[in-house]
Structures are given as C-alpha cells and as structure tokens.
Structure 1
Amino acid sequence: MYSALYNHINRFIDLSTGEQEILAPMLKSFSVKKKAFLLTEGQTCRANYFVAKGCLRLYFIDIKGAEQTTQFAIENWWITDLTSFLFQTPSEFYIQAAEATEVIAIEHHLYDEMFHKLPKLERYFRLILQKNHQASQRRIKFLYSQTAEERFRHFNSLFPEFVQRVPQYMLASYLGFTPEFLSKIRAKK
C-alpha cells in the first residue's frame, strides 16, 4: 500500500522492512477527486502530503483575485504549506487536486513520534526540504531573469509530459503569465 513512499525514502536513506512496519501506522492513504481541496485559506495545515499518483498544487489568491500557483506535486513529490504545517497557524494557501490523486499523508501530531522512533527520517526530510528549497530558488530566479517565453520553453524541456497534464490556466499561473499568453506561445510551435 505504501510501496511508492518506501521506494522514494530508500532513494535517500535505507529504511528496513522493520522500520517500514514502524512507520506504516503513522501514515494515512486516501484518494482525492480532481478539483477537491486538502487545504483552504484560513485552515491550519494538518499534514504533509506525498503524491503516490496524480497531481496536487499549492496556490494563493492575489490582490487582484487571481490564483497564483506556487508549487505542483506529481508522483513521488511532497507538498504542504510548510509554515502553517510546522507552526500550526492558519494558512494563506490552498492545496487542490489538479487531477484525481492518490495521497499518503503524515499528520503533524505524529511528526515528533515518527522522528523519535525513526531518527533517520529526519535526514530524509532534510534532504527533501533542501531539494524543495533549491527548486524554489531556481524558480524565483527564472521569474526575474527570463522572459515569459523562455520560462515556458525551459519548463517544457524539463517536464514535457507534465505540461500536457495540467490545465493551461494552472501552468500559466505557475509560470507567471496569463492563459492567453500561454496559448500564443504554444501557437508559435
């Protein structure tokens, strides 16, 4: 049931079968329908979500009322509102399923217990957070140093299958432009 997560963890650290058995009761798996929410603005984020299959997105509503996607999570990626999750404060974000998604969650109230029983998972999550932080820094750099068309071409070269998976308005929001502009870029092909 949790094999996708165990395989992912074992790419970073060695988690034995016995340790997997200790971790399993702390995990919760469930399905999320397309467009369903795991978190809405004002709620406290209660879990860190691992995508076993599907796609989730993290976004906020800007001052003009437009959705601004800040992160996607596809298979083998984690997603959460980290500030709300760590400090148990109301979120300023939404987490929504961009497509039907299979999720494995670790709830906040189990984090300390998990790290106490399986200290090596602290290393795993540190490595995941480092990769996530690096990706966020690169995304910010690209938003300020590349034209909109360059951002699309670069993203499309890295994740061509992903570009086809998500709705155009979500992708445009993530890349920092309008869906209409994305249509014009795609039409140039």
Structure 2
Amino acid sequence: MQRLLDHIQKFVVLSEEEQEILLSYITCQEVNKKDYLLRQGQICSANYFILQGCFRLYYVNDNGTEQILHFGIDNWWIADYESLEKQTPSEFYIQAVETTEIAVLKKSIQEELFSKVPKMERYFRLVFQKAYTASQMRIKYIYTFTGEERYRHFNKSFPGFVQRIPQYMLASYLGFTPEFLSKLRGKKEK
C-alpha cells in the first residue's frame, strides 16, 4: 500500500491519521494474467489503483475485433468511469495483461471516505485532470500523426512499456494492425 500512499503524496499531503482512515477503506487484491476485473454488461463497482502490473480496457467492435482504449500500469487508476458513476452496465472489458496487484476503492464507500478525508476528493480531481489531458493528447495524435508517427511517439514516451505488452495489443491501442506494427519494427531494425 506504500505505492498508493506515495502516489497520493505527489498530489496532496495526508496526515498519518488521514492515511490510516484511507487505508481502512482500501482492500488489496491480486488478479491473475488474463483474468477480468470487469466484463461487458457488468456494472463497475470500484476504482482500481494498480500497485504493480498491467490492465487493458477494451471493447469488441461489430466485426468482433478487440479495440484497446486504455492501458493501466503501475501507479495508475483504472475503471469504467461511466459505469462506475451512473451504475449502468459497462460497454467495456478490463483484463489483466500480466498478474497484477491492485488497491480497490469500492464505489459504495467512496463518498464516506471523501467526507472523512476531504483531501482525497481533491486528489481524485487532480488525477482525473491529468488523465483527461492525456486522453485529449491521444485523440490529437490519432487525428494528426501517421501510424508510424504514433508508434514512434509512443515508443519514445513509454519505451519500457512497449516491451511489456504483446504486439497485437500495442497495435490495437495505436489503431492499426499487428502486421503494420511488424513492418514498422522491421524498418527500425534495418
């Protein structure tokens, strides 16, 4: 849980008492590789902080192809926020790419935590602002970069991550086929 506390301290400073209250609301869980936190049609019931590991959030399009919208790695939060907030069935899957350890904050007790530790509401606002900004930039890159530019930018920004995930998942996230990604990687090696 120290990873979670360290992450929070980057945004807000919690007293020891506030940390203890927070930790009383959090549970830890290990999710095996390929297991699901959420499946399409289920209601997302918690925010998940990734202590160590990797998840992917994706949907299956009309052609039966998986389209990855988001990866969550060490020190990131992941959830289907529309399903979580509205308590409606999810349109997405959240699946472990590797065995992953998470901290779980259930929706049912989140407001109580915010009431007892108001700084946590500020923390989540700041985290979501940062995530929203990253999302906007990703959309911009999809519209303005070529496939090769998207790959080069992603590889430069997250070099270690590119090695952690299967090629077909990276291709899905970047919006092209695994074959196109193979050609890009082949060009790089020449």
Letter in 1 for 2:28: S
Give 1:118's aligned amino acid. Answer: V
Counterpart secondary structure, 1:188: helix
Q: For residues 140 and 98 of structure 2, what CA distance do their matches in structure 1 show?
A: 28
The Cα of 1:63 is off from its aligned counterpart by 1.4
Pairs aligned (count): 188
Q: How does 1:26-45 map to 2 (within 5 A)?
A: 26-45=25-44
C-alpha separation in 1, matches of 2:139 and 2:163: 23
Distance between the aligned counterparts of 1:136 and 1:63, measured in 2? Answer: 24
In the alignment, which residue of structure 1 is the partner of 2:118? 119
CA distance in 1 between counterparts of 2:27 and 2:86 reads 21
1:46 aligned partner: 45
Question: For the residues of structure 2 that align with 1:58 and 1:16, how far apart are their CA atoms?
Answer: 34
2:96 alignment partner in structure 1: 97
Helix, strand or coil for the counterpart of 1:96? Answer: strand
Give structure 2 stretches of 5+ with no counterpart.
none
Aligned to 1:150: 149
Q: Residue 34 of structure 2 aligns to a residue in which SS?
A: coil
Which amino acid in 1 is paired with 2:24?
P
SS at match of 1:35: coil
Matched, 1:79 2:78: yes
Q: Distance in 2 between matches of 1:112 and 1:88?
A: 14
- Output the aligned Cα RMSD: 0.6
Q: 2: CA distance between counterparts of 1:175 and 1:187?
A: 17
- Tell me, in whole angstroms, the C-alpha distance in 1 between the residues paired with 2:177 and 2:141: 17
**4+ residue stretches of structure 1 with deviation over 2 A?**
none
1:132 is aligned to 131
Q: Match for 2:103: what amino acid? A: I
Distance 1:17 1:168 in 2: 43
What is the aligned-residue identity percentage? 57
Query: SS of the counterpart of 2:75?
Result: coil
How far the C-alpha of 1:64 sits from its partner, in A, is 1.1
Distance, in Å, in 2 between the alignment partners of 1:68 and 1:128 is 24
TM-score by length of 1: 0.98
What is the CA–CA distance in structure 1 between the aligned matches of 2:24 and 2:117, rounded to whole Å? 13
Q: Which residue of 2 aligns with 1:165?
A: 164
Name the structure 2 match of 1:70.
69
AA matched with 1:174: Y
Q: Identify unmatched segments of 5+ residues in structure 1.
A: none
Could you tell me which amino acid in structure 1 is paired with residue 112 of structure 2? E
Shift of 1:25: 1.6
